[in-house]
């Protein structure tokens, strides 16, 4: 079962029971820490089966420190259920559209396609490099076709 850790109106995770136990051992998760399962049910960490909290310390009580997300932790940037992760799909599509327009109409529109391709690549789109190469090829081809047509069909452009 996967759980999300709820801290100060933020949702971190998902994390499995083994990861939650590691956080308990590190002191980052307390018995009263609020969790949410993948079905949306809220519960405390103490009520999750398979999690074990150490007994009372020598002073007779369990020290309580509110969980604060550590800097650079991989679960801080995990996608949440609030929206889909942006992989650069829109930028990839725009790069392809600009490539077609750049090749057939105005070669310099391909420059916008290259910019969109770089953005798609930076967002981790699996075809991000292709989104850069195709507009670049369209730009070169569009300029080349334009130059050749002006050389061999000069009467059209007078």
pTM above 0.75, yes or no: no
User: Does any domain span residue 83?
Assistant: no
- In this structure, are 49 and 107 located in the same domain? no
- In this structure, are 19 and 57 located in the same domain? yes
The domain of 72 spans 3-77
Q: What is the pLDDT of residues 81-139, one digit of tens each?
A: 444 567 888 999 999 999 999 888 888 899 999 999 999 999 888 898 999 999 999 99
Would the CA dihedral through 8, 12, 14, 15 be positive or negative? negative
Place of tokens 């009520």: 47
Task: Identify the pLDDT of residue 136.
Answer: 93
What total of structural domains would you count in the chain? 2
Paired tokens of 144: 């080349």
**Which of 77, 98, 119 is a domain's end point?**
77
**Which of 77, 111, 132 is a domain's end point?**
77
Task: Identify the pLDDT of residue 135.
Answer: 93
Task: Identify the pLDDT of residue 72.
Answer: 54
pLDDT of 21 higher than 50? yes
**Which of 28, 54, 77 is a domain's end point?**
77
- In this structure, are 14 and 58 located in the same domain? yes
- In this structure, are 25 and 52 located in the same domain? yes
Task: Identify the pLDDT of residue 51.
Answer: 85
- In this structure, are 140 and 95 located in the same domain? yes
Task: Identify the pLDDT of residue 59.
Answer: 41
pLDDT category, 149, cuts 50, 70, 90?
Answer: confident
- In this structure, are 45 and 97 located in the same domain? no
- In this structure, are 54 and 21 located in the same domain? yes
Q: Do residues 93 and 115 touch, judged by C-beta distance below 8 A?
A: no
């Amino acid at each position: 079962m996967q759980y999300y850790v709820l801290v100060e109106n933020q949702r971190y995770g998902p994390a499995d029971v083994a990861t939650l136990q590691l956080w308990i051992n590190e002191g980052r998760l307390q018995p009263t820490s609020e969790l949410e399962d993948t079905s949306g049910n809220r519960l405390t960490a103490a009520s999750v089966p398979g999690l074990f909290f150490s007994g009372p310390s020598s002073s007779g009580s369990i020290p309580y420190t509110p969980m604060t997300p550590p800097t650079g932790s991989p679960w801080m940037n995990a996608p949440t259920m609030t929206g889909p992760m942006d992989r650069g799909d829109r930028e990839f599509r725009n790069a392809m559209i600009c490539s077609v327009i750049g090749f057939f109409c105005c070669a310099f529109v391909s420059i916008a396609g290259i910019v969109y391709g770089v953005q798609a690549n930076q967002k981790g789109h699996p075809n991000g490099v292709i989104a850069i190469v195709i507009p670049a090829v369209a730009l070169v081809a569009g300029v080349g076709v334009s130059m050749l047509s002006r050389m061999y069909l000069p009467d059209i452009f007078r």
